[in-house]
């Protein structure tokens, strides 16, 4: 009797894998759910798996080299920086991701972080809870209308942020080397180079994928080039901002504030983490959320169903709907 193909879920924080199990078992697979925090935790289970699904755990070259029969690595999300895609491609393994499942949530979250900082909601809240009833508790605040909002990376999420921001009467400028002039014109935004983006932005919205080119896109030279009243919002990958430089910029007043959905160390990907590890958590002019910009009950369900369905499709001989490296595999073949 032929054994059922084994699908390894490397890690998850959804409480259970019932959604995935229902989809995959219907496709004839066996599901093994782990809570791996390192590749050492994956090697044994990965060796004979037919597929891997990962949320935070890295699936790197060492794990991929150990795989003897894997057909697909499915990422629970858009970014695939925690999958060694070239190693998977070299071994003939498909990589898939989940797209367009949280565009509205991330755009809402980015704008919420901006408004919370721009309107001083957190210092006002802290002050009133301490018995201080003073409009000066969050001073100085500045009118939003007429400000410049800079957006780095103008894909679907950047475009959704722009549509929301426009209602506040701001000018929108965009830095994206891959953006066509026609797309920029269609969305009523102006393309600028990095120097103009930094010099003019009153709020800088980062929605950047993690690549070698985007690592530390913002570091000390960039923060020093910005307005001292500027706000930085990052709902993209944490390591696109140099956190040591950001701490200095916030502590020494090079910029006014920051809203981060994930700091550079990306705590969910670490076995042990404490806010004491990062001095940014001591600053009153920074808001940090736990990589939650993508979250709604609806988006979580969509991500889980889509990732599991991609695996089911591949295991039953169908092409995936969200391939990452299908073209590279075709060239290799």
CATH number at residue 109: 3.40.50.720
What average pLDDT does the chain have? 95
Domain identity same for 166 and 277: yes
Annotated active-site residue 129? The verdict is: no
Q: Are 95 and 107 part of one and the same domain? A: no
Total count of residues recorded for the chain: 333
Question: Domain check: are 118 and 96 in the same one?
Answer: no
Of the candidates 291, 304, 310, 313, the residue annotated as catalytic is 291
Q: Is the pLDDT of residue 2 over 90?
A: no
> Is pLDDT at 85 greater than 80 in this prediction?
yes
Catalytic residue of the set 171, 196, 265, 266: 266
User: Of 58, 75, 109, 237, which one is the catalytic site residue?
Assistant: 237
Q: Are 221 and 325 contained in the same domain?
A: no
pLDDT for 1 equals: 58
What pLDDT shows up at residue 70?
97
How many whole angstroms separate alpha carbon 320 and alpha carbon 76? 14
Please check whether residues 252 and 122 belong to one and the same domain: yes
Mark whether 168 and 36 lie in a shared domain: no
pTM value > 0.85: yes
Instruction: Kindly state whether residue 146 falls inside one of the protein's structural domains.
Output: yes
Q: Are residue 116 and residue 207 in the same domain, yes or no?
A: yes
- 157 and 146 in one domain? yes
pLDDT-derived band at 271, boundaries 50, 70, 90: confident
Residue 333 has pLDDT above 80, yes or no: no
In angstroms, the Cα distances linking 63 to 10, 12, 52, 56, 89 are 11, 18, 11, 15, 13
Q: Do residue 261 and residue 218 come from a single domain?
A: yes
* Domain membership flag for residue 84: yes
Q: Which residue has the higher pLDDT, 210 or 311?
A: 311
What total number of domains does the chain contain? 2
248-263 pLDDT tens trace = 999 999 999 999 999 9
Whole-number Å distance between alpha carbons of 56 and 238 = 13
In-domain check, residue 1: no
In a domain, residue 156? The reply is: yes
**Pairing mode, strands 51-54 and 6-9:** parallel
Task: Give catalytic status of residue 291 as yes or no.
Answer: yes
- 95 in Cβ contact with 87 (< 8 Å): no
On the question of pLDDT at 209 being above 90, the answer is: no
| Residues 93 and 110 placed together within one structural domain of the fold | no
Tell me the per-residue pLDDT of 43-71, one tens digit each, with 9 for 90 and over. Answer: 999 999 999 999 999 999 999 999 999 99
Q: Is residue 179 part of a domain?
A: yes
Q: What residue numbers bound the domain in which 170 lies?
A: 103-288
Residues 186, 237, single domain; the answer is yes
154 shares its domain with 222: yes
**What pLDDT is stored for residue 109 in this prediction?**
98
- Neighbour count for residue 224 (Cβ, 10 Å): 14
CA angle 242, 237, 64 (to 5 degrees): 110
- Catalytic: 171? no
In the chain, the percentage of residues whose pLDDT exceeds 90 is 89
332 confidence band (pLDDT: 50, 70, 90) = confident
Instruction: Please state the rounded mean pLDDT for residues 300-322.
Output: 97
pLDDT for residue 189 is more than 70: yes
């Amino acid at each position: 009797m032929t054994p059922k193909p084994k699908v390894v879920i490397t890690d998850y924080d959804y409480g259970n894998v019932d959604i995935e199990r229902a989809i995959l078992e219907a496709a004839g697979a066996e599901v093994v759910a782990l809570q791996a925090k390192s590749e050492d935790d994956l090697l044994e289970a990965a060796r004979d798996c037919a597929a891997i699904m990962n949320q935070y755990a890295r699936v790197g070259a060492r794990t991929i080299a150990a795989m003897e029969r894997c057909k697909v690595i499915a990422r629970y999300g858009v970014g695939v920086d925690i999958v060694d895609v070239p190693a998977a491609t070299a071994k003939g393994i498909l990589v898939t991701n989940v797209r367009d499942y949280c565009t509205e949530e991330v755009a809402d979250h980015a704008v919420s972080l901006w408004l919370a900082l721009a309107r001083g909601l957190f210092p006002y809240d802290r002050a009133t809870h301490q018995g201080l009833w003073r409009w000066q508790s969050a001073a100085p605040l500045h009118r939003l209308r007429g400000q410049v909002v800079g957006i780095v990376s103008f894909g679907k999420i950047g475009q959704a942020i722009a549509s929301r921001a426009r209602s506040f009467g701001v000018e929108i400028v965009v830095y994206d080397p891959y953006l066509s002039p026609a797309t920029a014109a269609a969305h009523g935004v102006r393309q600028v180079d990095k120097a103009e983006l930094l010099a003019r932005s009153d709020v800088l919205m980062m929605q950047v994928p993690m690549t070698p080119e985007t690592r530390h896109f913002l570091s000390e030279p960039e923060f020093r080039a910005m307005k001292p009243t500027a706000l930085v919002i990052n709902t993209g990958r944490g390591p696109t901002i140099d956190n040591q430089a950001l701490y200095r910029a916030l502590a020494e007043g090079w910029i006014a504030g920051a809203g981060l959905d994930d700091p550079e160390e990306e705590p969910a990907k670490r076995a042990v983490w404490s806010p004491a590890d990062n001095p940014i958590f001591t600053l009153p002019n920074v808001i940090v959320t736990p990589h939650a910009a993508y979250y709604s009950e609806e988006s979580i369900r969509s991500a889980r169903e889509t990732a599991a369905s991609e695996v089911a499709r591949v295991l039953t001989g169908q092409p995936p709907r969200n391939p990452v490296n299908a073209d590279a595999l075709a060239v290799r073949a």
